[in-house]
Amino acid sequence: MAAFLEQVAASDSKLLWLDDADYSAALLAGGAAPWLDASAYVAWRRKAQSLLKLNVIEVPAARIVSAWLVNDAQLRAAAGAKTRVNFPLKTLLAAADLRRHLAEIIAGLSSSFPKLAVALVCPSPRAWLSDAYHGVFGEPAQVEVGEDEVDAATLHCADFLREFGGSGIDTVLLEESAQSEPATSAEIEWYRSVLNVGTHYRWDMGLRIPGDRLTGDDPAGFSYMIGPRSFGTPCFGRVVGDDFWRGDDPDHARIRNPLQMALYKRVAKCRPLVTKVVDEILGRFAAKSQFDVMDEFAVPQKAVHSRIVLGRRGRVLRRILPSQSNSKQQQRKHSCQFHIGIRARKFTARNCLHRRLTPPTHL
């Protein structure tokens, strides 16, 4: 067995493997995962791992390839030069810069997490064939996929995977879509070239199947399956649904509780620093008898910036902004409220102080 199944066999509990890219991007990367920057990608995954404590580090090849295609107009044009079914996938997977980029990501993750399994997650050759064609020619494009096309796509995928033979991969997971899911073990056998590459590099090869279309219990050489049942593989995993996170099963709590505790610890770690910064700011004004909040804190900006932020036209903006004289009155009022709050801060709860410092909004 390779490193991944060895880890599964040695574990006393179920391993935690999450497709957390969207969640971690929203939480740690401003909603935009750094697919195109290898160093930033590895740093982002290190931050995510410090929070999530995963057992498997996933590399979603399809998302990286898709982002690369969107960013590289020259490659996009080359992939669309011919309308043959296999041509877009062949061109994409043969791109040398893309291969080097993905190899750098895998090597960086393997070095950063030497005790964890690194999983390269790819669409199956059949699924990737359609995805690449639609990615280049658009979703409405019609594509006919049969055994010959899948066989050719498997060869392209096998050549692509050889590029990462020494990069630190422990397992490769091929993912089927609802449209590409095989019906028989004979159709899984079409992926034999990819399986041979996995065997050569001692990777544990897995297949994720979304439904029950596949009949029989012959895994056709795959070490594990992820799906509704095991299909005869020695190792079996399942995709959890939304109800998993809301249930009371012990396995559910085993995952939820560490995530909650990790978040609480991060908040608690930041609290002293935030308190120090707030106290330093308030301390600057504690000895002053008078001061102007607008002069101390406000940053001048053009009216056009306010219109952009508010999403309003100029005439609407004039209706909701106070007049010049009223503006000065409001400044004096805010300064007074702030000054009173400063004097009261030694015996006023912090949340009460915040309320006193926050003026009401008038539109």
pTM: 0.68
pLDDT at residue 123 in the model = 96
**pLDDT the model gives residue 308:** 54
Specify the pLDDT at position 74. 95
Q: Is 338 within 8 Å of 357 (Cβ atoms)?
A: yes
Q: Evaluate if residue 322 carries a pLDDT over 60.
A: no
Amino acid letter, 88: P
The neighbouring-strand residues paired with 175 are 123, 208
What does the pLDDT look like over 275-304, one tens digit per residue?
887 777 777 766 666 666 666 656 566 665
Question: Read out DSSP for 174-216?
Answer: EE--TTT--SSHHHHGGGHHHHHHHHHTTPEEEEE--SS---S
Q: Which carries the bigger pLDDT value, residue 328 or residue 173?
A: 173
pLDDT in tens, 18-46: 889 998 998 899 889 999 999 999 999 99
Please state which of the ranges 24-33, 180-189, 335-344 shows the lowest mean pLDDT. Answer: 335-344
Say which residue, 88 or 326, is predicted with more confidence: 88
By CB neighbour count within 10 A (0-12 exposed, 13-18 middle, 19+ buried), where does 120 fall?
Answer: buried
Mean pLDDT across 61-88? 94
206, 224 contact by CB (below 8 A)? yes
Structure confidence at residue 11 (pLDDT) = 77
Query: Which pLDDT value is given to residue 36?
Result: 96
Residue 196: which region, alpha, beta or left (left: phi > 0; alpha: psi -120 to 50)? alpha
Average pLDDT taken over every residue of the chain: 78
At 200 the pLDDT is: 94
Do the beta carbons of residue 209 and residue 187 sit within 8 Å? no
| pLDDT at site 312 | 47
User: Residue 138 is which amino acid?
Assistant: G
% the chain with pLDDT above 70: 70
Give strand ranges (E) for the chain.
56-60, 117-123, 171-175, 204-208, 224-226, 235-237
